Amino acid sequence: MPQDLTRDLMDLIERGRDRQLRLAVTGLSRAGKTAFLTSLVDQLRHAGLEARLDLLSASRKGRLLGAQRVAQQDLGVPRFPFDQARASLEQDPPCWPEPTRGISELRLKIRYRPSRQAWLRPETVELTLDLFDYPGEWLLDLPLLEHDYLSWSQTQFDEAGPTRRAMLATWEREATQLAPDADADEARLAEISELYASGLRQAREAGFSNLQPGRFLLPGDLRDAPVLQFFPLPGLANWSQERLAALPESSIYASLARRFRYYQEHVVRPFYREHFRRFDRQIVLVDVLGALTAGPERFEDLSQALARLMQSFNYGQRSLFSRLFTPRIDRLAIAATKADHVTPEQHVRLVGLLEALLAEPLKNLKYANIPVKAMSLASIRATEAREVKHQGRITSALKGTSMDGEPLLTFPGEVPTRIPSADFWERQGFNFIAFRPQPSAPGALPHIRMDAALEWLLGDKLE
Amino acid sequence: MPQDLTRDLMDLIERGRDRQLRLAVTGLSRAGKTAFLTSLVDQLRHAGLEARLDLLSASRKGRLLGAQRVAQQDLGVPRFPFDQARASLEQDPPCWPEPTRGISELRLKIRYRPSRQAWLRPETVELTLDLFDYPGEWLLDLPLLEHDYLSWSQTQFDEAGPTRRAMLATWEREATQLAPDADADEARLAEISELYASGLRQAREAGFSNLQPGRFLLPGDLRDAPVLQFFPLPGLANWSQERLAALPESSIYASLARRFRYYQEHVVRPFYREHFRRFDRQIVLVDVLGALTAGPERFEDLSQALARLMQSFNYGQRSLFSRLFTPRIDRLAIAATKADHVTPEQHVRLVGLLEALLAEPLKNLKYANIPVKAMSLASIRATEAREVKHQGRITSALKGTSMDGEPLLTFPGEVPTRIPSADFWERQGFNFIAFRPQPSAPGALPHIRMDAALEWLLGDKLE
């Protein structure tokens, strides 16, 4: 399309001068995308003055002069609601920002002094930073491109545990009654699809992440459209591929398969084509602590979801992704968020657990030579670390305010450094406590290691 | 796109056999689109049995055998919620169906016996009827394609009356402070756009119809995107076109103009290209009685809105529409809805008033040789006509149930047959009373002249 071409050309020109970077933030629901992006923008806007960004080299050396929001390029993409997010943190009592829906965008112009002055090189330079925020659930749909409707139907529940299956019980009861060769009744298929979608929503509410198709959870303008009204058909094992392929267009099987294909072509692919393939760098946020609190089934589910999600960043020669799209992302960060919800000495363990959780995908990425870094951070620090005497011993604790406004001094528990065994779950588990943001203060938002994240994601571009 | 080509080809094949018809229903907010489409589907499904469709020739002659819903073709378009609408009418007490948002679709297969049997011609034939429902507000945007941002800004308020202008007062106060050549501040433009959109919403609530840009009222997935954040810039009269054109890209004027162009290309045109140009027939619903009750400013506003909306159906050689798109609609109906809200002897007057209201557009359509018919109807009849003795004279009255559940016997007033004079508004006006639907009964929904509408819109296809 000419529009895309113009946009690409403009990109190319700016990129040629190495002055533009498209950085994407994603994560599964409740991973903290909005808080991360709000803090990132806030830190850069305060850079050079109040922001504490010592781990960002350009800032430490005083070369980072600040950042300003400017008009974004894609007029059809919602603007990231930075002002609203900032305002909710400034309320009394302060509130966490409202989560975003779908994709959103914000453009910053960052001003800095290059590390080496040279003849004809200006004293200050600008980097245009395009920030994108999109639901990690959309990436869970990538593997769906590898399937046809038959194979997708047959593999959908291979990995689901008992709690998740129970959430789809009502749907399953109805769906198993459908004969693949019977005539499709649109209204009936819509009803059963709604049962399926409602099971997915219920699972998300209950803390599960490995949910597919992702758009069922955020339908937007496609609400009530047939493209979002399909589901895996049970009982296909008794049917041969040939017999299924020969069924008439009006049959239940053919109708659902048609919708599945439409979903692949009109929902999944366009996201990769129009957005994903244009990102330069990516950070994936993971709420490891939340999953640790939610118990073994959800923890295992998160692990599967992450493995699935990470396929989008695997550009290895034989990967699904590289066969489908031209990759571009040249640097990747994976961050365990909400690090302020454990005591400081646990941070190393948190990164260890994140790496254990992502062991397989990280191995693949390294093999494919994609620079990737795992870290832990708190986008907006809500607690302070304290030392307390407990039974004659000095231990560390967190001081903060509960969501109800109660002052808390607590030790949420130890983070295991490897995938927890059955023993861990029985013996102790982990008790994640939600804190309210700290009362607003002048200057940049308090954080933990946002500067390390910035250094990895754009430090080299500020040289 | 190949997808579109396939679809068009399929259309062509079905059309070649004269067995497919794409019928679109539109109307401004509250005109009764959902009730009309619900009733239309209901009448056709009951055709041949309970439905009273004597004015539809195929039905009167017993050739219409019935209709069934089948799978719609455009998987990305929401399905018209017929079942939900029907269910809300069957509640106790019955409720009017929820209004639809955006475009929706439903496909019927109508079965009938052709009027002339011939050798090799089958005894029964099927007509595929694709029904579409979309907001009339989208058509109000057509004239926007004829403007550039400058001329659009300058003509936006030529026609607005004092009440409407008052609703935009807050916006106007802020907008007049903007200097066209000042640097655009995205957040500020977003704020002022929101004031503009909120003024439009307020106007719609207050019964105004002539609102533009239409998508500001139904943003969908574009909520918070810059494309929906523009507005006419006041005070451009002091600027020459050349000076404005020379302003930098970052200026307020250039930013708003860019968004305006994006809106034209990515919002207005795609509707015409992807949907409108594929409709075969169209019915436009008008709530004349509501406007008559709301007083002179809103009545005049409706008249302007209709004139603007009707441009989309004017295929005359020199019309805006024919210069932009290839027309296809070959038959048009304009219907004053809610005819059951006046006594039967007023129906002729209602059509007379509708014709007076549309005098200019109807003249243009006739000149352009577009078959068009004005009528009055009640999609779902909520009242019964009664004769009552009042001051010794027998007069007609309406019997029904108010929205609060009170039984009513009332005479809402006389409908003027021409555009009301100042005298009418002062002397009497018209008192539209909203009735609740009648309690549900077996068989088809009660109606007034739905059969006449069907005869005009698809009678010839059932020969």
Residues of A in contact with B75 (CB under 8 A): 225-227, 258-259, 262, 266
- Residue A102 near chain B (CB below 8 Å): yes
Determine the residue of chain B that is closest to A189 in CA distance.
Answer: B71
**Whole-angstrom Cα distance, residue A367 to residue A310?**
14
Arithmetic mean of pLDDT over chain B: 89
B419 touches B356 (CB < 8 A): yes
B172: burial class by Cβ within 10 Å (0-12, 13-18, 19+)?
buried
A385: burial class by Cβ within 10 Å (0-12, 13-18, 19+)?
middle
How many helices (H) and strands (E) chain A has is answered by: 18, 10
- Residue B213 near chain A (CB below 8 Å): no
What is the per-residue pLDDT for A395?
A: 85
Domain ranges of chain A: 21-138+279-381+439-461, 142-272
Which of B75, B193, B269 to mutate to test binding with chain A, by most A CBs within 10 Å of its CB? B75
**Whole-angstrom Cα distance, residue B39 to residue B26?**
15
- Residue A223 near chain B (CB below 8 Å): yes
Contacts of B393 (CB under 8 A, 6+ apart): none
Contact A75 B220 (CB under 8 A): no
Contact A227 B265 (CB under 8 A): no
What is the per-residue pLDDT for A1?
A: 42
What ipTM is given for this predicted complex? Answer: 0.82
**Whole-angstrom Cα distance, residue A72 to residue A132?**
11
- Residue B255 near chain A (CB below 8 Å): yes
Strand partners, A401: A407
- Residue B7 near chain A (CB below 8 Å): no
Give the H or E element holding residue A183: none
* Dihedral Cα A306, A278, B265, B151, nearest 10 deg: 120
Phi and psi angles of residue A407, each rounded to the nearest 5 degrees, phi first: -70, 140
Q: State yes or no: pLDDT of B7 exceeds 90.
A: no
Contact A186 B222 (CB under 8 A): no
A84 residue type, one letter: Q
Determine the residue of chain B that is closest to A107 in CA distance.
Answer: B186
Which pLDDT tens digit goes with each residue over A343-375? 999 999 999 999 999 998 999 888 888 899 999
Phi and psi angles of residue B16, each rounded to the nearest 5 degrees, phi first: -55, -35
Q: In what order do the strands lie in the sheet with A384-390?
A: A384-390, A393-401, A407-410
Residues of B in contact with A3 (CB under 8 A): 265-266
- Assign A15 a pLDDT band (cuts: 50, 70, 90): very low
Over residues A143-149, the mean pLDDT reads: 90
Strand partners, B331: B281
Contact B186 A102 (CB under 8 A): no
Contacts A–B by Cβ distance under 8 A: 81
Partner-chain residue, chosen from B3, B83, B259, that has the shortest CB–CB distance to A187: B83
Over residues B142-171, the mean pLDDT reads: 87
Q: State yes or no: pLDDT of B16 exceeds 60.
A: no
Q: What's the distance, CA A150 to chain centroid?
A: 28
- Residue B1 near chain A (CB below 8 Å): no
Contact A79 B226 (CB under 8 A): yes
- Residue length, chain A? 463
A170 CA: distance to closest CA in chain B (Å) = 21
Over residues B160-166, the mean pLDDT reads: 84
Alpha-carbon distance values, B229 to A77, B196, B245, B253 (Å): 12, 9, 20, 13
What is the per-residue pLDDT for A118?
A: 65
Which pLDDT tens digit goes with each residue over A395-412? 889 999 999 999 999 888
Tokens of B91: 């509640």
Contact A227 B83 (CB under 8 A): no
Q: State yes or no: pLDDT of A84 exceeds 70.
A: yes
**Whole-angstrom Cα distance, residue B110 to residue B58?**
11
Pick the CATH number of A21-138+279-381+439-461 from 3.40.50, 3.30.1490, 1.10.3470, 3.40.1130: 3.40.50
Q: Which of A200-214, B341-355, B425-439 has the lowest mean pLDDT?
A: B425-439
Determine the residue of chain B that is closest to A219 in CA distance.
Answer: B221
Rg of the Cα atoms in chain B: 24
- Residue A266 near chain B (CB below 8 Å): yes
Q: Hey, how many other C-beta atoms are within 10 angstroms of the C-beta on A147?
A: 15
Contact B79 A225 (CB under 8 A): yes
Residues of B in contact with A270 (CB under 8 A): none
Q: State yes or no: pLDDT of B420 exceeds 80.
A: yes
Alpha-carbon distance values, B116 to B17, B105, B123, B360 (Å): 16, 32, 10, 40
**Whole-angstrom Cα distance, residue B203 to residue B160?**
11
In 3D space, the residue among B335, B359, B209 whose CA is nearest the CA of residue B283 turns out to be: B335
Determine the residue of chain B that is closest to A78 in CA distance.
Answer: B225
Tokens of B417: 């047959």
Q: State yes or no: pLDDT of A173 exceeds 50.
A: yes
A125 touches A113 (CB < 8 A): yes
What is the per-residue pLDDT for A283?
A: 97
Q: Which of A70-79, A364-373, B2-11, B220-229 has the lowest mean pLDDT?
A: B2-11
Contact B225 A186 (CB under 8 A): no
Partner-chain residue, chosen from A102, A186, A262, that has the shortest CB–CB distance to B69: A186
Q: State yes or no: pLDDT of B1 exceeds 50.
A: no
